[in-house]
């Protein structure tokens, strides 16, 4: 079986897998993160990689708030003692409550915005930091602007992480961040485990009585069920879940609908939405604008002249005007065409109407 399109959830897609399917054209990650897909190999093989962003935002925000409330009211411990036949109302009547407390949000994408909405419903104040956030945007969101993650950490009673994993965010939540946090504050991470320095977190839990609610862990099992041992999970100041942030029936249905939309769009247009491995801009410096009649073989002759001039076509778009008689080819090339070559293109066919070369800036 040799698919044209591959849809995956948490399954890792290695370079070996991509190379094993010569006809593969599109990989769809049925979710937001795509760090489990070998993007470099996919790009080398000209395979599109698309994602389904934002479909699980509400589900993740719901779990994040569930972890906040679980820590504050010690809900898991209540349940365990009840199941063990114990009643301990006195012990579990010491919760602080979250009304009027401050939530620090790290990352104000779709999930972060859902967290803001829920925090306000609980009567919390919100301080936020994100690379894309500025004071004006923060005001529009109704939150206090933080110039860096540590500022948010210093203000918050609860910090919730909602960042994509990139080279810039890997290990971002480290010693400096935990040093800035208030003692006995809560850290919630439902994004990616690699964003948090777990050694620094364990130190903060020991030295500053920080509580953590985690849905993501280092060295998670690749299977859906199995043994899992991690020294942080035995800490009594940790409440954890099994990487289930996006795993509600509502979210999974929304992701499935989006994956189908991506497939249909690709089949109908050849251009998949939400593609993550296309260059925003190629390094080309010149573009040819060739106005021509919409006739068979016109552009073949143009490409021959570009090739003979030892230039490579990097990006090309051919626009058809109303009535399908006229067209304009916009051809981005990696080098300047000489005036003689431009004349060759213009004179290569009576159906070439005009040729212009533009230097891109």
Catalytic amino acids?
Answer: 192, 220, 243
Rounded to whole angstroms, how far apart are CA atoms 155 and 137?
Answer: 19
Which residue from 281, 253, 242 is spatially nearest to 52, judged by alpha carbons? 253
Q: What share of the chain is helix, strand, coil (3-state, %, to 5)?
A: 35, 20, 45
Instruction: Quote the tokens at residue 351.
Output: 């159906």
Strands annotated E in the chain:
5-8, 26-29, 48-51, 102-106, 125-129, 144-145, 158-161, 186-189, 211-214, 238-240, 286-293, 313-320, 326-333, 352-359
Which residue from 332, 297, 339 is spatially nearest to 311, judged by alpha carbons? 332
Rounded to whole angstroms, how far apart are CA atoms 119 and 112?
Answer: 10
**128 contact partners, CB below 8 Å, separation of at least 6:** 104, 105, 106, 108, 112, 116, 138, 141, 143, 144, 145, 146, 152
Rounded to whole angstroms, how far apart are CA atoms 12 and 9?
Answer: 8
CA dihedral 115, 119, 121, 123 (to 10 degrees): -170
CB 228 within 8 A of CB 221: yes
């Amino acid at each position: 079986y040799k698919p044209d399109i591959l849809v995956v959830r948490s399954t890792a897609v290695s370079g070996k897998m991509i190379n094993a399917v010569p006809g593969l054209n599109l990989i769809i990650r049925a979710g937001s993160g795509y760090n489990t897909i070998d993007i470099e190999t996919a790009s080398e093989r000209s395979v599109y990689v698309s994602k389904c962003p934002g479909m699980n935002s509400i589900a993740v925000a719901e779990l994040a708030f569930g972890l906040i409330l679980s820590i504050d009211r010690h809900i898991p411990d209540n349940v365990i003692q009840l199941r063990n036949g114990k009643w301990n109302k006195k012990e579990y009547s010491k919760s602080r409550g979250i009304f009027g407390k401050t939530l620090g949000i790290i990352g104000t994408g779709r999930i972060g915005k859902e967290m803001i909405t829920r925090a306000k419903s609980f009567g919390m104040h919100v301080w936020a930091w994100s690379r894309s956030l500025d004071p004006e945007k923060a005001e529009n969101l109704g939150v206090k602007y933080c110039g860096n993650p540590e500022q948010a950490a210093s203000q918050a009673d609860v910090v919730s992480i909602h960042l994509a994993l990139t080279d810039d965010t890997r290990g971002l939540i480290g010693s400096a961040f935990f040093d800035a946090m208030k003692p006995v504050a809560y850290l919630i991470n439902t994004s990616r485990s690699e964003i948090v320095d777990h050694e620094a977190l364990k130190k903060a839990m020991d030295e500053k009585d920080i509580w953590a609610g985690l849905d993501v862990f280092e060295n998670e099992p690749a299977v859906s069920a199995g043994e899992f041992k991690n020294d942080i999970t035995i800490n009594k100041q940790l409440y954890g879940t099994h990487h289930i942030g996006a795993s509600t029936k509502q979210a999974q249905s929304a992701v499935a609908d989006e994956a189908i939309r991506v497939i249909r769009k690709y089949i109908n247009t050849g251009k998949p939405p939400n593609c993550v491995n296309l260059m925003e801009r190629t390094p080309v410096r010149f573009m040819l604008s060739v106005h021509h009649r919409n006739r068979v073989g016109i552009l073949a002759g143009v490409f021959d002249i570009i090739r003979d001039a030892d230039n490579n076509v990097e990006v090309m778009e051919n626009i058809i005007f109303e009535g399908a008689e006229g067209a304009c080819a916009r051809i981005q090339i990696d080098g300047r065409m000489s005036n003689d070559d431009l004349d060759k293109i213009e004179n290569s066919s009576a159906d070439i109407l005009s040729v212009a070369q533009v230097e891109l800036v």
